[in-house]
Structure 1
Amino acid sequence: MIPLFTAQETRRLEQMTYERGISYLQMMENAGRACCETLQAQWGVGDKRVCVICGKGGNGGDGFVLARHLQLRGAMPFVLLLQEPTHPDAQEMYRRLGSIPVYRLPIEETELEKLLMGSDIIVDAVYGIGMRGQLPPAVAHIFSLCEKSPAQKAAIDIPSGVRGDDGSWAEGAFQAQVTIALGCYKIGHFSQPGSENCGKVVLRSFGEEEEDRENCATRAFAVTPRSCISLLPPRDPAGNKGTFGTALNIAGSRGMSGAAILSSKGALRCGVGLLRLAVPKSVLPIAAGVMAEPVMMGLEESPEGQSIWNEDLAQWSQKASAILVGCGLGTGLEGGQLMQNLLACRKAPLIVDADGINILAKWPELLGKAGENLLFTPHPLEFSRLTGKSVEEIQQNRAAVALEFAQKTGAVLLLKGSRTLVASPDGRLYVNRTGNTGLSKGGSGDVLAGMILSFAAQGVPLFESAVLGSCLHGTCADMLALERSVYGILPSDIPENLPFLLKRLEKPEEMPLG
């Protein structure tokens, strides 16, 4: 797993490094030198005109060191100083600039434009991880001019305006092509919307040890496809279908048979021992015509084609190892009654997706009866309906609102997006880094919900099931994108190719993964 740090945790990492005998001044020297090495590796710096925009704090101090090392490597650096340095170490590094030109605000607009437009590389060393609030208008204006410049653009630690703790951002945040993460990755490097300002993120050391990062015990993390293998449920060689769990999928309505089929295929391809599928009677022959594996129940249905709860479904619910409800279910009165009955009788972990979430948004009193061991898997619009927050507010503060909801309700939340988040009531946060726009098609979420159902039915806790499902779901799309255009990836391609991905992860020596 890859730990993702908050600002407070980053400072703890710096303190641990200091206690090992490396001064803060030396950490700043190490950071600035590492930034120079990164720029050299990315674009080369010899004979290039490099503008280093420096603020008054430690991030600006890193920028002063960078400028000095750039000069040693044959570049032509200059500093655009927004405020006089106040950080003691930054003041010392400022004194060491020597002959490097320094331009201070205020500055004539024409001269400012000339400096930025004439640069080959622009480096943001203004705020770093500690920024709060909005950018001052003068800073936002400079960053807007930077966007117009043809120069390559890099940020030290995190682009100014992006908040490292959650990935939210201030209007006008610096847009980098490369971000040089110092000491550790931050949540904001990979969480939207701020991750879009980071570009390529390169991790460099300021003197910390790998052991220090591990000992910080961060609550947020990402995983690589290879490392998520540890989350897969074990396969007992002597096991039978009962060993690997019984999953119940309550899905589908008239015209929405695909949701029931795709979610079921996602579950079947992830190892569950027995899948039971409950659908309206009108959907039953369609589902049975394309899948032989599930045990199916055809439910009586309303005139609109929505399933009606019955005693047989109650018995299936009580015997299940995990339950998924909502994929293509419909949101009429019958759906609300079905959800009410399910919440009253279920004992197993429950995954609520799609229309299951819309039903709870429509009848919010049911949310208070949902109980424990619960996972919601909304996209932003569904989450907006459930919480009353606007989609814009959610997208601007994804990590914060996800954690707030999980802690308030006691449920695990998987918030979908190009950087899907999984938040736990205990404060853990997973940021998914896999996937591509091939998944931006109706039905992809159904497959993901079925995969999570399968892992949960095999005994994997809901948080870990959601982490595992989202990582594998995205990785499978990434694997397919190596062979075909993202335009042509279908949701049904994911379950069909999951066995090959899982084989690569189980036996990398037999089927190398990239």
Structure 2
Amino acid sequence: MRDVLNGQEMKQCDENTMKMGMLSAVLMERAALSVVKEIMERYPDDDTRILTVCGAGNNGGDGIAVGRLLALQGYEVGICFAGNPEKMTTETARQMKIAKNYNVPVLTPEEAFQENWDVIVDALFGIGLSREITGKYADIIKELNVYYEGAGKIAVDIASGISATTGEVLGTAFQADVTVTFGFEKRGQLLYPGAEYTGALKVEDIGFTTESLFDIIPGLHVLEKEDLDMLPKRTAHSNKGSYGKLLLIAGSEGMAGAAVFAAKAAYRMGCGLVRVATVESNRAILQQLVPEAVLAVYNDTTDVVKFVETQLAWADAVAVGSGIGQSALSEKMVKTVIEQNTKPCLFDADALNLISKNPEWLQFLKNGAVYTPHLGEMSRLIGTSIAEISKDLVGAALQYAQKNHVVMVLKDARTVTATEKRGCFLNLSGNDGMATAGSGDVLSGVIGALLAQGMLPEDAAPMGVYLHGLAGDAAAKKLGRHSMMASDIVDGITDLLKEQEDTIEQ
């Protein structure tokens, strides 16, 4: 697991490093050297013409140093200074003096843009940018993106115009092919739309380490393959009851697929027993497609309160909502789960829509419940537009999790899992082939199975999201992203866990 910092945390980390005795000039030189190394590997021909576009802040100082070092390596370089000379930081002024002493050409934007350049290095704004870019700076960035469209684009630390904390585009932003960042990944480089402007992200060690954090507790983490060691273990002396009993309340008439995907995913994740509570009309479909599942069916005449209470008594964990619709019966079942259940529980899809219509139910909700809304469902839950939520996925997820004492899995291209005890997790596994019907039902089955096998909700949710994405990556590798269906993600779980078992056995 690795930490991801927001803009303020990274700024404090920088200050802490200097408190430890590291000189700002040394950090700047090491930053510049790491960018130069990347450029020289990508563009080994020293006939390459390179323009570094620099502001007055320390990010601009990095860029000036990059230009000077490249010039000393024989590249044809121009340093375009676009900032206000009177507002240069001490280190940037020092770098400008050094560059001039080495006779590196320093150009105005007007002079620079009259020439052709093979590579553009963006060092206009760093991680401290918090306001919208307007005026001449916006014009410069647009010029770099449009006029120099075919040139290589390298961003120093962060693409100018991207919020380091939220990934928002602050007015306009530099479109980088690669960003060389320092010490830690920044949230805005991993969240969309910032990720699209970041390009390939390279993290370089220039002196920022975990020792530099001092008392900073990073609020965002990314799971890695090594974290799969947290998965529930299997033992030779065991039986089906050893691996948990999951109750899935899923599928309404015409929506049997949701129950099928969730049940198959849960079994593939190693759950010992999966009971599907669904409408009578889904019986034959489930018996044919998931014969391993235990069925509990209901119809319009069923006393669903007693029905649900009976199923809850059997289960070790519950997942409710996939494809259940929003009928009166479904409403009674979800309400009963909220009021009566004491087991780890996941709420998805229609269960969340019903909760958004009946917010008073939240007073009965037990701590540790897992919510898995997509942006539309989240919008209905909190009464805020999708556009507003998208501006700060981490903040929206964490605020709801803390207010309602739940684990919030906010599904998007980069899913955020917010917990009260473990902070937030940003998922980097998965691909666009998973944007297909039934993918969310598979996720419900994956997380539900982990809950049934004894993982705590704050661990099961981010791990389930990560595994779900890895399974999607396995499916994409086999089939390609265009052709993927939810059933392929289920098959990907098999491939993924087999690979993990083989690794452990070796």
Q: TM-score range by the shorter chain?
A: over 0.9
Gaps of 5+ in 1: none
Matches within 5 A, 1:6-405: 6-44=6-44, 46-83=46-83, 84=85, 85-98=87-100, 99-104=103-108, 107=110, 113-115=113-115, 118-148=116-146, 149=148, 150-209=150-209, 212=212, 217-224=217-224, 226-301=225-300, 309-405=304-400
Secondary structure, counterpart of 1:97 in structure 2: helix
Secondary structure, counterpart of 1:67 in structure 2: helix
Q: What's the CA shift for 1:103?
A: 2.7
Q: What's the CA shift for 1:230?
A: 2.0
Q: What's the CA shift for 1:45?
A: 5.7
Q: 1:436 aligns with which of 422, 431, 435?
A: 431
Distance 1:42 1:189, change over 3 A: same
- Code of the residue aligned with 1:102 in structure 2: it is V
Give deviations 1:76-110, integer Å, cap 9, x for gaps. 222222222532112111111122222336x4xxx
Could you tell me which residue of structure 1 aligns to residue 441 of structure 2? Answer: 446
- Code of the residue aligned with 1:457 in structure 2: it is A
Secondary structure, counterpart of 2:240 in structure 1: coil
Contact 1:504 1:510 in 2 (8 A): no
Distance 1:45 1:423, change over 3 A: farther
Instruction: Give the number of aligned pairs.
Output: 500
Q: Distance in 2 between matches of 1:40 and 1:323?
A: 55
Gaps of 5+ in 2: none
Q: Distance in 2 between matches of 1:285 and 1:41?
A: 60
Could you tell me which residue of structure 1 aligns to residue 463 of structure 2? Answer: 468
Q: Distance in 1 between matches of 2:44 and 2:477?
A: 30
Distance 1:308 1:43, change over 3 A: farther
Distance 1:297 1:36, change over 3 A: same
Q: What's the CA shift for 1:508?
A: 2.3
Q: Distance in 1 between matches of 2:112 and 2:351?
A: 55
Q: What's the CA shift for 1:44?
A: 3.0
Give the superposed CA RMSD: 2.1
Q: What's the CA shift for 1:497?
A: 3.1
- Code of the residue aligned with 2:320 in structure 1: it is V
- Code of the residue aligned with 2:34 in structure 1: it is A
Q: What's the CA shift for 1:249?
A: 0.5
Identity in percent = 31
Q: What's the CA shift for 1:425?
A: 2.6
Q: Distance in 2 between matches of 1:231 and 1:143?
A: 45
Q: What's the CA shift for 1:239?
A: 2.5
Give deviations 1:207-244, integer Å, cap 9, x for gaps. 234665799542211122x2231220122332322222
Q: Distance in 2 between matches of 1:167 and 1:141?
A: 21
Could you tell me which residue of structure 1 aligns to residue 418 of structure 2? Answer: 423
- Code of the residue aligned with 1:137 in structure 2: it is G
Q: Distance in 1 between matches of 2:46 and 2:181?
A: 23
- Code of the residue aligned with 1:100 in structure 2: it is V
- Code of the residue aligned with 2:90 in structure 1: it is P
Q: What's the CA shift for 1:15?
A: 4.1
Contact 1:32 1:65 in 2 (8 A): yes
Q: What's the CA shift for 1:269?
A: 0.7
Q: What's the CA shift for 1:178?
A: 0.2
Distance 1:11 1:357, change over 3 A: same
